[in-house]
Chains A and B, each alone.
Chain A
Amino acid sequence: AQSVTQLDSHVSVSEGTPVLLRCNYSSSYSPSLFWYVQHPNKGLQLLLKYTSAATLVKGINGFEAEFKKSETSFHLTKPSAHMSDAAEYFCVVSDSNGNEKLTFGTGTRLTIIP
């Protein structure tokens, strides 16, 4: 069984300050982990993914995430927030046992304060 918990439903940061979106996961197998972003009235777009290679994963638009097995976490960070980062972010887990199903977190809405 697999599950994912996004610890904050809403995060607000000032433009130019760091962003931290938290995600914990549970998986019976070695997981693959993803972060997706959804801008208003749009579909989801892949930000980055971890698939058992390097534990620090770099994605698009300056985002990165670190896979920490001991803490079962996959937090998303960005050094300096931009107004265009305002969106909803989803953490997603998939077991590596050939399971075709992804499990989505409930999402974190990121607001950027000018």
Chain B
Amino acid sequence: NAGVTQTPKFQVLKTGQSMTLQCAQDMNHEYMSWYRQDPGMGLRLIHYSVGAGITDQGEVPNGYNVSRSTTEDFPLRLLSAAPSQTSVYFCASSYKLAGGSGELFFGEGSRLTVL
């Protein structure tokens, strides 16, 4: 029972490099999302998707791209990494979030350091 799987768990980048954080879920969830967690700031929504082919911006989308070509996968791309993107990134999915009744299932996180 894999749930939500994120890779890699740790990554160190240099300023200006690009990379992709992978997220996959095996629960057939329509809703997938990416959050970043920074000390004292809780979790902030980066991008989300309500189904294959549909994505939208969250609270802090700048510097990140997403796509949703399949129900299972929702990769997050950093286009040109900056030190301000040093954070812990969480992918989360839900069967249905409309109306706020859906439970989010989280991956274990990806810790990114940008030098």
A interface list, Cβ under 8 A from B? 9, 31-32, 34, 36, 41-46, 49, 51, 90, 93-96, 98-102, 104-107
The answer to the question of B109 belonging to the interface, with a C-beta cut-off of 8 Å to chain A, is yes
- Collect the chain B residues with CB atoms within 8 Å of residue A44's CB: 43, 90, 92, 104, 106
- Collect the chain B residues with CB atoms within 8 Å of residue A93's CB: 100
The answer to the question of B40 belonging to the interface, with a C-beta cut-off of 8 Å to chain A, is yes
A–B Cβ pairs within 8 angstroms, 14 of them: A32-B99, A36-B104, A41-B108, A43-B4, A43-B90, A43-B106, A90-B43, A94-B99, A95-B100, A98-B99, A101-B58, A101-B59, A102-B45, A105-B42
Asked if A106 and B42 sit within 8 Å, CB to CB, the answer is: yes
Asked if B58 and A98 sit within 8 Å, CB to CB, the answer is: no
Interface residues on B, range: 20 to 34
The interface bits of chain B over 15-53 (1 if a CB of A lies within 8 angstroms of the residue's CB, else 0) are 000000000000000010001000011111100101000
Q: Smallest distance from the beta carbon of B39 to chain A beta carbons, Å?
A: 9
Asked if B108 and A31 sit within 8 Å, CB to CB, the answer is: no
Chain B residue at minimum C-beta to C-beta distance from A93: B100
Main secondary structure of the interface of B (DSSP, over half): mixed
| B86-100 at interface with A (beta carbon < 8 Å) | 90, 92, 97-100
